[in-house]
Structure 1
Amino acid sequence: MRATCGRSVSRGGFVVDVGGLRADTPGCAGWVFLDSAGASLVPRQVHEAVVAHLELESRVGGYEAQDRAAGLLESTGVEVAGLIGAGAGEVVFFEGASQAWSQALGAVVVEPGQRVLTTTSEYASNGVGLLRWAALRGVRVQVVPDDAEGVLDVAVLEAELERGDVGLVAINHMPTHSGLVNPAEAVGALCRRFGVVYLLDACQSVGQWEVDVERIGCDLLSATGRKFLRGPRGTGFLYVRQGTPLGEPLLVNHIGGEWSGAREYRVREGAAGFASFEHAVAAQIGLGVAAAYARRVGMGWARERIGALAGRLREGLGEMAGVVVHDRGRELSGIVTFSVVGRESGWVVEALRERGVRTGVSRPGDQRWAEPVGGAGGLVRASVHYFNTEEEVERVVGLVRELT
């Protein structure tokens, strides 16, 4: 972060210059960007790192460029692991979170007839993946209901674990379609108590909250680079706790496995067993720069600022007649979902876009294990980040008021 003129805010005794954050983010210029839950704006440092490696590849070729970038790739492992409180050897990289999550799921050992517990708020990709995997393994997917505040009911989860025959708990930390936050740490404590493998989808939380795998207690965690972490598209990673009892991944190659004989092979232990040969080196380097940037900003401060901005947006929208805010839960993320009475959400998104505001749509098909809200048109999804300003929030509230 470079020092520039702009508003400064305190972060644990340090001063974070919001103007500097925005100067590092060229995409802030000219419009209000509220779509970090989809694909956020990369800092200039990430852009420069990716472009620099692509230029190197154009001069010396991909293999030579990768050899020269060995230090940067090692740094990516260190920075990403440090961001989530893991060891560098516990993280492996993929082209996206769905790929990482699917590979992790495929390695979980279950017995026919066991149950897999999940949440009502699972994203469509996870839901389809769970159902397909369950059919292949002969297990049953059971959805744990929400409590009165709209998040996963920990008491029900505990009762289901006490019944036994649970082979896996797979939940999201924050869903894509609303601002709720599931009690990831409480779930982790229960999974440790009952000795059940715990897979956490942290796509929306890495980059906007503190995510510490030791405190959460998950055995497996998947995340993407493109959302709140502000990395390049086509990047993701998987955390594999050392010592987690897993089987072989569904897809293994000569990097994750060793071909020891004509018909013999051995899969490497832990995260190394999920590694593959081919990947976009430039994008992976950019992911490391994004993780380093997030660590410098500070995830404790990021959580507070994002929460304050999202709170102001919810409050302003909630005071309007004709606007309904749909977020639920005891704690709320930077994702704000709302609808305008009498208007399709797609129309609202386009109208805001024409006025210089980028938002997205949360569609009913994004999740199917809970009663959809907002009708067939879904909800408007406005996701704030720490580089947004109070003035931008007020502008959006005013524009929505005009649309009503």
Structure 2
Amino acid sequence: MENMIEQHAELKEIKGGSVGSPKGFITGGQNIGMRKSKPDMGWIFSQKPAAAAGVYTTNRFQAAPLSVTKASIAEEQTLQAILVNTVSANSCTGEQGLENAYTTRKWMADHLGIPEHVVAVASTGVIGLQLPMDKMRKGIENISLSGSDALFEQAILTTDTKAKHLAVQCVIDGKTVTIGGACKGSGMIHPNMATMLGFVTTDAAVDPADLKTALKTVTDRTFNRITVDGDTSTNDMVLVMANGMAENKRLTVKHPDWPIFLSGLKAVCQGLAKYIAGDGEGATKLIEVRVSGARDEKSAEAISKTIVGSSLVKTAVFGSDANWGRIICAIGYSGEPFDLEKVSLTLGEIVMFEHGMPVSFNEEEAKSYLDGNNIVIKANLGEGDGEAVAWGCDLTYNYVKINASYRS
């Protein structure tokens, strides 16, 4: 996919960058026997304790790893290591599952020689499976801090078809600061978190309280604006670590370079979110919905999410059918106020609907545009200055095929 990074004059994308790009972060992955041969355990280690923050799924069934990670961060708002496994989500596994999550946290801490509360744990995979503790223990004992972003990226995947990673650099206090990230997510993806794990690192020095605020603000405009299928999982989390090894003056919201840092964090999270949307299960196309002219940002966000989440819109995009009526229909049931006579719709640069009336357009040109891999739908409501963007993907035959046999 192209254009995953939002253009910003003060940001530079690092080619091939990832979660291990910032100074002092080491990542890796290995196969511990949960899968036949692919990596199924990954880790992130910071050479120095890092300020940390997290955001989590809104699903009321929250997996054991979330409880453990929340407890870790709550103690000192600091992390130094993250342990991740796939295959077993360790969700809906009762007291045994919670005990297993705490045990793996202890094993990881002992192996690295660091306190337990600076270790986070994350899991993804099938709900209801207990962790294979013998394999987990042996795997942790075999962890070597040699470093491999590629192995980490592979170790966290489930039905994803590709690894998802990027990094940017900016200058703060005259110091080069790097922000990197990697994530997984393909199915059970919906705004307000999804079946996704996201990990963001930076060598910037950042106040923990302001880092938490920044992550929440950025998540609301990136990870919480993607959808694949409308399902919200039990294991979703995004974690950020800031170890200060760039040696800038500690960033707070009052720091003059705070907007630069915030734009870098947003660029990484937005890029990762778009990778997830574009790699939805069975997907062939990334859909971007831009809503402008709404009464406020909240209204624009609700409408953009409704359009990109519409099964009828998604199937029309898959079939390269410029059926603008489905978009109008989605706007209509979004629950947001608008005046139909002020609404305009554009597919790419093709105007389809203007001031409440259809506009004659070239069907072949529209089909040709929809045959591409990156589809942009723009809706202007003519009500105010509220605007928002949401991302999703087309709905294909393969989505059903993948999910009809997920456990087999």
More strand by share: 2
Which structure has more RCO (C-alpha within 8 Å, separation ≥ 6)? 1
Q: What band does the TM-score fall into relative to the shorter chain? A: under 0.3
The TM-score normalised by the length of structure 1 is: 0.25
TM-score by length of 2: 0.25
